[in-house]
């Protein structure tokens, strides 16, 4: 299937360097996602993850290349693409309801107050904040603020939800609960999501695809890991799945060693055909179209298989 809902096509980002030259953060980056997929980007600090997300959001422009979303090249920001940052960025003088309603009104300017309120309330309920509608951000915990950010993002029914380490400032318990919420909502609503994380387990729990970037400057998308765990995985027993360590070890090994040595050791890397890796999955899959038909046949652990993202 070649349904590219998001298509990042050969983007680069360069900045003026010291001494009049240029620093290339990343170059010739190609990446695609299907509608309803959850993608996570993993890579070391400075490789350009936030830059890629900002370009997708329309907050930054690539020095080369283009980004196509739902068949249209993106130009600037759009209510089709909602961003959730690490810091919640709520309006401090507005209540929970006021913050969400503000976003709703910016999308549907001709809606009357009752309609805006009912719509905002639906998303406040969805993220578990029923009863806190009239609290201001200063009266909320970090996790609650982030829930408001999620409700606000979802309330404008974006085509893509973009998240830049949304849970990294939260304690482990709250982070886990919010991961569960985001996963549930994305599965229930078919939301397409693109998220940056440094947390390997978070990526394995949430993502369908995990994009591995090498170290910058001059970073490249080295591999796309297709999550071999079943869709109905749970956070608590994730580590008990027979394929869990295969996928986890693969990603950790990339971060610990291959992300640093990639440029020197992989001489035939084709940025347009980045290897798609399925750790632990048997060597059955060749074409993306064939995947659905074999999806049910999870085996015991085998070695990783690769194809190309096409």
Q: Looking at residues 191 to 220 of the shown chain, list those that interact with ligand ATP (rule: CB under 6 A).
A: 216
Contacting ligand ATP (CB under 6 A), which of 24, 32, 50, 305?
50
Contacting ligand ATP (CB under 6 A), which of 48, 62, 137, 158?
48
| Choice between 51 and 191, CB closer to ligand ATP | 51
Contacting ligand ATP (CB under 6 A), which of 3, 46, 125, 234?
46
110 binds ligand ATP (CB under 6 A): no
163 binds ligand ATP (CB under 6 A): no
Q: Looking at residues 78 to 97 of the shown chain, list those that interact with ligand ATP (rule: CB under 6 A).
A: none
Minimum Å gap between C-beta 85 and ligand ATP is 11
If DSSP states are collapsed to H, E and C, what string results for 112-149? CHHHHHHHHHHHHHHCCCCCCCCCCHHHCCHHHHHHHH
User: Phi and psi for 51 in degrees, rounded to 5?
Assistant: -65, -45
Closest CA to 190 of 157, 167, 212: 157
Contacting ligand ATP (CB under 6 A), which of 19, 20, 21, 45?
45
Beta carbons of 41 and 195 less than 8 angstroms apart:
yes
| Choice between 255 and 301, CB closer to ligand ATP | 255
| Choice between 50 and 95, CB closer to ligand ATP | 50
* Whole-number Å distance between alpha carbons of 208 and 303: 19
């Amino acid at each position: 299937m070649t349904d590219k809902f998001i298509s990042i096509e050969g983007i680069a980002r360069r900045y003026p360097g010291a001494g009049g030259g240029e620093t290339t953060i990343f170059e010739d980056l190609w990446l695609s996602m299907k509608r309803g997929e959850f993608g996570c980007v993993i890579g070391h600090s400075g490789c350009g993850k936030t830059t890629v997300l900002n370009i997708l959001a329309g907050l930054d422009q690539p020095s080369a290349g283009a980004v196509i979303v739902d068949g249209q090249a993106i130009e600037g920001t759009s209510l089709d693409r909602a961003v959730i940052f690490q810091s919640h960025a709520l309006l401090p003088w507005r209540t929970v309801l006021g913050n969400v309603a503000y976003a709703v009104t910016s999308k549907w300017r001709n809606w009357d107050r009752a309609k805006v309120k009912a719509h905002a309330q639906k998303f406040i309920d969805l993220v578990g904040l029923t009863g806190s509608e009239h609290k201001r951000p200063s009266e909320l915990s970090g996790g609650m603020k982030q829930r408001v950010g999620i409700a606000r993002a979802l309330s404008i029914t974006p085509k893509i939800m973009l998240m830049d380490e949304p849970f990294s400032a939260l304690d482990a318990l709250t982070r886990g609960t919010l991961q569960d919420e985001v996963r549930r909502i994305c599965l229930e609503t078919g939301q397409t999501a693109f998220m940056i994380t440094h947390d390997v387990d978070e990526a394995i729990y949430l993502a369908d695809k995990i994009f591995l970037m090498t170290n910058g400057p001059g970073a490249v998308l080295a591999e796309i890991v297709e999550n071999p765990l079943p869709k109905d995985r749970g956070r608590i027993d994730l580590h008990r799945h027979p394929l869990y360590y295969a996928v986890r070890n693969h990603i950790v090994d990339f971060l610990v060693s291959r992300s640093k040595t990639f440029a020197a050791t992989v001489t035939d890397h084709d940025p347009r055909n980045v290897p798609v890796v399925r750790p632990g999955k048997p060597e059955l899959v060749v074409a993306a179209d064939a995947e659905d038909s074999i999806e049910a046949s999870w085996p015991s652990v085998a070695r990783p298989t690769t194809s190309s993202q096409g």
